[in-house]
Each structure stands twice: as structure tokens, then as C-alpha cells.
Amino acid sequence: MQIHSFPIHRIHDLLETRQIGAVETVSEFLERISAIDPGLNAYLATFGEKAIEEAKLYDSGARDFSASPLAGAPVAIKDVIAIKGELTTCGSRILKDFVSPYNATVTEKLRRAGAIFLGKTNLDEFAMGSSTENSAFVKTRNPWDRQRVPGGSSGGSAAAVAAGLCAGALGTDTGGSIRQPASFCGVVGLKPTYGRVSRFGLVAFASSLDQIGPITRDVEDAAIMLQAIAGYDPSDSTSVDLPVPQYRAALKQSIKGLRLGIPREYFIEGTHPEVEAAVRTAIETCSRLGATIVDISLPHTEYGIAAYYIIAPAEASSNLARYDGVKYGHRAKNGADLLDTYRKSRSEGFGAEVKRRIMLGTYVLSAGYYDAYYKKASQVRTLIRRDFLEAFQKCDAILAPVSPIPAFKLGEKSNDPLQMYLSDVFTLPASLAGIPGISVPCGFTTEHLPIGLQILGPHFREELVLRVAHQFEQASSFHLLAPEME
Ligand code: GLN
């Protein structure tokens, strides 16, 4: 059976009705990883033996599948999220040997729901990037075209789901790192509202923006995974104590009568014509499903990149100060004194992009520049947030492209950070505003590269975003296509 090509909910049905076994399921994924991943580099580490041991507990009846829809589901975790006793490298030399002393809240919750961890996935170092080329270890390739990037920074998770190397995965999104790789790899990626999912045990990049979310084969799976990880956590004071709706139940409702806003600032020159065409066709599909399409404006969109690339590096420079070679992580061997040890450890441990962000961030926070840069960017952030709040007076959810371009070639942008930053234009505003967003497959270019539709909703309305995504997905068939891997 092609278990590796099934979504989690289907695998779970087959497991529960004993049409497949848990060991059989996990083995199929592990064998596929051995066969295919050397050419893709989606994983940084795999937990083959442990995964098989856990699967045996299901087959022997020691554990049962009725506990949760994730029971027995083989999943992968972005290597910036802690799993107790396993390496958490963040794709960085500075944490190359760092073993997590505890579980992140999300990994704890997934474990309790019965998910089986297959391994940790590759990423841009400390999640800084849009192509996964900034990993200190390997470059992940796009399963649809191995000459191209999978997107980033959760490129390993997106590639693993697309290639059938796990049934679902966790990614993190600070400025688009779940949605953009999902769109580049033709899978579903959901960034929850800031505060919906606990960040405890997630290695911090930009703490006012970071969120953890699922990358899956279809929208129903995204709802299942979000259900398992969402909710207030006393260990993360920014997680919000609001009731968590029943996401899966919300999917079934039609979108008839919903007002879907089309922001004119997201249909601009420079967007790949086939991306725009696919998104426009998706909008027509939603209209055919009974939604009312309304034109909206998000006037401060063009300032998103500038504001984000001040705020995120500022927070990063502060968060990354803890890697000093003393408490944990890489320590340079030949430091003359304490200061020299700091300097050498950080010089050796961090890659070029991380160093660039630390320098940018330190600069915009320094005395004399703070008001001109950091404070101004924070004010712009408020304006961007206000744009969305006003737009949601006129519409229930927003439809837009995820990225102006499909997956680009490896190396194409890696020497030009500005070009790389510009490609985040459509994902950054939602991150700055803290609202939820999803990428759902909506077409392919003539070169067979996937295209994603972005659906944004008001704060804490993931059930609405998921519902629109599911209704669109069920009216299309792009999510059923998988790349040729053999
Ligand atoms: N590409 C953006 C950056 O480089 C977003 C990364 C992310 O969401 N982690 O910062």
C-alpha cells in the first residue's frame, strides 16, 4: 500500500480498522527516508529504532488508536523545537551538539496525542531565511525539482511532507517560514495566531513574531495537528487563554455568504504571471462556492519588509546573545581570555546570515538609532495591524498569493540578501499583525512548480481560515498530486 502518500486522517482510519499495522506504517516511511532522503536532505536526524518501538506498542495492543486522531501518526519536527534527549541544532554549528533537556510544549502535546516522531528536519540557521540554504549542515532540495529550493525556513518539514517522508510535520513561522515552504512544495502550511500555540521549547528567533504550526498533506490534517498543539500554556506567558474551537468540525461548513477580501496591494507588478493567474482562478472557485468577493486595501503593505527586517533582527540580536560559548553550545578552544572566547565562539559558531542579522539588530537598537529605526518600525507595525483590523470590517477572510514567485533555483538568491528578503513581501504583514494564515495548493506553473493560495483571517479565527481552505481544497484537486520521487 502507498501509506506514505496518505494524509494523517486516512492513515489513522486504516490503523484503527486494522487494515494496516503501526510498525508497517512507520517502516514504510523509514524505508522511504533511507531511499529518497539522501537526494533531498529534508532530515537532519531520524529516530528509526525508537519510532519502531513506539509503533510496536500499538500493534501489541498496549496503546490504542482511539485516544486521538494523531495516535500512530508518523510526524517530523523542525529542528528548532525541543524533543527531550535529542539534538536540537537549529541548523547551526553553535548548537551542533546541543541535546534538549526537556520537551517543548508542542512535542509533549503531540506525544500525548500518540504521534510517533520520525526525526528532526532541516531549516535555515535559527530559522533565518527563505530557502533553507542557510543551514550549516545540508541544503534541502525541492521534491518537485531538485535544482530548486524547498523554500524556508521550514524547508525540511515541507519537503518531507511533499515527498512522503512523513505524514505531517511541525514548522515555525516568524515571517512566512511555514506558509512559503508549503507553497513551494505543494502542501498545506498553517501559521496560527500569535499566542494560539505555546512557544515553550521553541528556540527563540524573534519572540514577538515566532509561532509554531503544522505542515500537512491536506487541510483536515492541519486542523487535526493544530487541535493537538493549540491552547494556553502557563510556561509561555504570551500564549493566550482562550477556548480552542473544534477545528475539524468547522471544516464541513460551506463558505456560502462569506465575504472574501482581495487586497489590491497583493496583486502588483513583479508577481510571476502564472502565480497571479492561479490565485485569480482560486478566487473564482471561491466565488462559485458562494462566497462574495470584495475589493479591499491594506495600504501599508509596502512597508512590511522594511519594518520586519528591523524588528526581527533586533529581537534576534537580543535572543542570540545567550550563545556565548560559556553556558552551552560551541566554545572556541583557543580563547585568550573571556572576551576573546566570546568573540571566537560566536565567530566560529554562527553562519553569515545570522551574523548579518545580529549586526543589523544591534545597530537598530543602539543609542541614537533606536528611535529612528526600531521605534519607527514598531509604529509601522501598528499601522499594518490596523490595516488588517479595518479590512476585517469589510470582509471575513482575505485571499492572496503566498509568494510572488514559485520555488527558485538553489544559489539563485543566496548571494543577494535583499532579493531574498523581498520574496517575503506577501507573508510578512500577517506576521507583523499576528493574524493566522494558511497556504493551500492552488495550481502549478508550466514548469510543474506548485503555487500556494494564502488565506488570512482575524486574530484567533483559525477555524475560519481552515474552513475556507478546506472548502477550496475540496473543490480543487491540487493537493492530491505528489512529486515523482522514484
Ligand atoms: N524569511 C524570513 C526571514 O528570513 C522569515 C523567516 C521565518 O519565518 N522564520 O526572516
333-381 per-position pLDDT tens digit? 999 999 999 999 999 999 999 999 999 999 999 999 999 999 999 999 9
Rg, Å, the chain Cα set: 21
Question: In angstroms, what is the span from residue 124 Cα to ligand 1's centroid?
Answer: 9
Which atom of ligand 1 lies closest to the CA of 424?
A: 1
Contacts of 52 (CB under 8 A, 6+ apart): 23, 26, 27, 30
Clarify whether 177 is annotated catalytic: yes
pLDDT score for 328: 86
Q: What architecture is domain 3-260+399-480?
A: Alpha-Beta Complex (3.90)
Query: Virtual CA dihedral for 388, 469, 195, 353, nearest 10 degrees?
Result: -80
**Atom 5 (ligand 1) nearest CA:** 175
| Contact (CB, 8 A) for 178 and 172 | yes
Closest CA to 162 of 21, 36, 9, 19: 36
pLDDT score for 394: 98
Active-site pick, 130, 135, 153, 154: 153
Clarify whether 252 is annotated catalytic: no
Q: Exposed (0-12), middle (13-18) or buried (19+): which is 227, by Cβ within 10 Å?
A: buried
pLDDT score for 308: 98
Question: In angstroms, what is the span from residue 301 Cα to ligand 1's centroid?
Answer: 17
Active-site pick, 78, 120, 139, 191: 78
Q: Is the CB of 312 under 6 A from ligand 1?
A: yes
For 304, other C-beta atoms within 10 Å of its C-beta total 26
Q: What is the pLDDT of residues 402-456, one digit of tens each?
A: 999 999 999 999 989 999 998 999 999 999 999 999 999 999 999 999 999 999 9
**Atom 10 (ligand 1) nearest CA:** 128
Active-site pick, 100, 130, 157, 177: 177
Q: Is the CB of 153 under 6 A from ligand 1?
A: yes
Closest CA to 157 of 189, 114, 110, 116: 189
Clarify whether 153 is annotated catalytic: yes
Dig out the grid coordinates for 121 from the structure: 528536519
Q: What is the C-alpha to C-alpha distance for residues 356 and 87, in angstroms, rounded to an integer?
A: 25
The answer to whether the bond into 153 is cis (omega within 30° of 0) is yes
- What are the average pLDDT values for consecutive 10-residue runs of the chain, which has 486 residues? 94 97 98 98 98 98 94 98 98 98 98 98 98 98 98 98 98 98 98 98 98 98 98 98 98 98 95 97 98 98 97 98 93 95 97 98 95 96 98 98 98 92 95 98 98 98 98 96 89
pLDDT score for 233: 98
**Count of residues for the chain?**
486
pLDDT score for 485: 86
Give this prediction's pTM: 0.98
Contacts of 60 (CB under 8 A, 6+ apart): none
Express the helix, strand and coil content of the chain in percent, nearest 5 each: 45, 15, 40
Q: Where in the chain is the domain with CATH 3.90.1300.10?
A: 3-260+399-480
For 167, other C-beta atoms within 10 Å of its C-beta total 32
Question: In angstroms, what is the span from residue 427 Cα to ligand 1's centroid?
Answer: 9
Q: Is the CB of 157 under 6 A from ligand 1?
A: no
